[in-house]
Amino acid sequence: MHGKVLIVDDEQDIRLSLRGILEDEGYQVVEAESGEHGLAAVEPSIDLILLDIWLPGMDGLQVLTRLHEKHPDIPVIMISGHGNIQTAVQAIKNGAFDFIEKPLSLEKVLITSQKALEFSSLRRENRNLRLNTKGITVRDITGQSGVIRELRQAIDQVAPTEAWVLITGENGTGKEIVARSIHIKSKRADQTLVAVNCAAIPEELIESELFGHEKGSFTGASGSRQGKFELAHQGTLFLDEIGDMSLKTQAKILRILQEQSFERVGGHRTISVNVRVIAATNKDLLQEIKKGNFREDLYYRLNVFPLNLPPLRERKEDIPILLEEFIHQLSQEHNFKPLSFTREAVAVLQNHSWPGNVRELKNFVERLYILYQGQEVTPAMLPGEISCARMQSGLEPAGFQDGQELPGDFKQARSRFEAWFLDCKLKEYDGNISRLAEAIGLERSYLYRKLKSYDISTD
């Protein structure tokens, strides 16, 4: 396991000796002659630090404390020609991985360096596993429809490459699941996936979030902080809702994506990173470009390999499979009694438009679990905004099911149907009478009188 090593020692002969030893074994080496220079030289590409204890100015133990605070994932091996037990113990307490005395043993330097890098890698993997057990699960997108099978095939093709990916699709279609699937199937799977919701970060803070900041760079910056680009070094950076970035931030993002280097907010040191970028948006970026809201050059930089996620209404054959998945998840997570749907209820759900897509369907299943856990859900048990789909599914409207008394004459039957139809449609359009009137082809004032005659609330 090779990597990039920073040597911090005021003796040039020691630095040259260590450089020769490490470079012969395939390591990259960076040197610093003081603690201050060493702290300035630390960047995401550094995998290991060899730090002398006796340094001019800031001594090694002080540097170690600063390193442990700002870069806790980088292992530090302390070296000293004046070592004693107390010094070694203090160094380990301050966060050092190990302690080596001068004169340096070639074999011990190489063995200790190898162990430190292996330990760091295991700690990173363990952290990722803990994140996954907290609900950040990685799985393929669910479904057996043609469009989903094609999507999975495209994911399998692009994941092992280094190509950047632009995922488009409506809210709730599963863009983050696709991004995580690409990462876990990539060559960077043992590194970190860092996700950033660009729409959720205030514009004045997004640069600090992405690039990090130095202490005192703005009000409230009480210390230095790594940005998302640094945290994603050697891994994957997922920029969700990229279309919501301001043009100013887009310009900075473009430069960083091109150069893979940047400066922290308030900083002057250039930091180089190696990240794979996956971006996602629910907007039509070509239309946003025409409107002047999105940079064309950034679009073509991100759109190396496009993936489009279809809305749920275009893959309704996947709804029964999704229902089974969500029922199983909720039963396992909350120890709920099993829930099931009749064939007729599933037909109704397949005819609903699901504007919130898969996310809406999952929330819907959880809602019904609260109401009917352990029961079989029939069409009559479905909420009003869903039951409007019964007309398209070929099922009878409320009050016309088998076994119930039919109206006495045609006029009564028509009135009952009209009342049911208008009530359902009004819920579908969230109580907006103007939109409903336009959708069903009635004049607004006439529609309002109809609703009033049937005592249908318009609040």
Residue 134, pLDDT score: 42
**Sequence-ordered list of residues with C-beta below 8 angstroms from that of 154, at least 6 positions apart, any chain:** 305, 307
Q: Is the peptide bond before 397 cis (omega within 30 degrees of 0)?
A: no
User: What is the per-residue pLDDT for 383?
Assistant: 81
Range in 124-128, 276-280, 286-290, 303-307 with the lowest mean pLDDT? 124-128
Q: Which of 19-28, 165-174, 198-207 has the lowest mean pLDDT?
A: 198-207
CA distance linking residue 168 with residue 424, whole number of Å: 32
Tens-digit pLDDT profile for residues 237-268? 999 999 998 898 898 889 888 888 888 888 88
Instruction: Please work out, in degrees rounded to the nearest 5, the angle formed at the alpha carbon of residue 451 by the alpha carbons of 447 and 452.
Output: 115
Burial level of 52, CB count in 10 A (0-12/13-18/19+)? buried
Place of tokens 């940079």: 295
Q: What mean pLDDT is predicted for residues 169-185?
A: 94
Least confident window among 13-22, 27-36, 326-335, 381-390: 381-390
Average pLDDT over residues 425-454: 83
Q: In sequence order, which residues have a C-beta less than 8 Å from that of residue 204 and are 6 or more positions away?
A: none
Q: How confident is the model over 83-135, as pLDDT tens digits?
A: 567 777 788 888 899 888 888 888 889 999 988 888 877 766 665 555 444 44
pLDDT at 265 (0 to 100) = 86
- pLDDT band, residue 147 (cuts 50/70/90): very high
Q: Summarize pLDDT for 16-31 with one digit per residue, the tens.
A: 999 998 998 888 899 9
- The count of other CB atoms within 10 Å of the CB of residue 122 is 10
Region class of 29: left (phi > 0), else alpha (psi between -120 and 50), else beta:
beta
Q: How many CB atoms lie within 10 A of CB 193?
A: 23
Instruction: Answer for the pair 126, 97: CB distance below 8 angstroms, yes or no.
Output: no
Half-sphere exposure of 140 toward its Cβ, with a 13 Å CA cutoff? 14
Mean pLDDT of 387-405: 49
- pLDDT at position 410, please? 77
What percentage of the chain exceeds 90 in pLDDT? Answer: 38
Render 13-71 in DSSP notation, one character per residue: HHHHHHHHHHHHTT-EEEEESSHHHHHHH--TT--EEEEESS-SSS-HHHHHHHHHHH-
What pLDDT score does 402 carry?
43
What's the rounded Cα separation, in Å, for the pair 371 and 28?
A: 61
Strand ranges (DSSP E) for 282-396?
305-308, 340-341, 376-377
Domains, the chain, with CATH or none = 4-131 (3.40.50.2300), 153-309 (3.40.50.300), 313-395 (1.10.8.60), 405-459 (1.10.10.60)
Would you say 208 and 226 are in contact if contact means Cβ atoms under 8 Å apart? no
Overall average pLDDT of the 337-355 stretch: 89
Across 46-60, 132-146, 254-268, least confident range: 132-146
Beta strand pairing status for 270-272 and 76-80? unpaired
pLDDT at res. 199: 84
Least confident window among 155-164, 296-305, 307-316, 341-350: 341-350
What is the biggest distance separating any 2 CA atoms in the chain, rounded to whole angstroms?
106
Of residues 80 and 240, the one with the higher pLDDT is 240
Q: Note the pLDDT of residue 392.
A: 47
Range of weakest confidence among 24-33, 170-179, 398-407 = 398-407
- Of the candidate ranges 104-108, 207-211, 257-261, 409-413, the one whose mean pLDDT is the lowest: 409-413
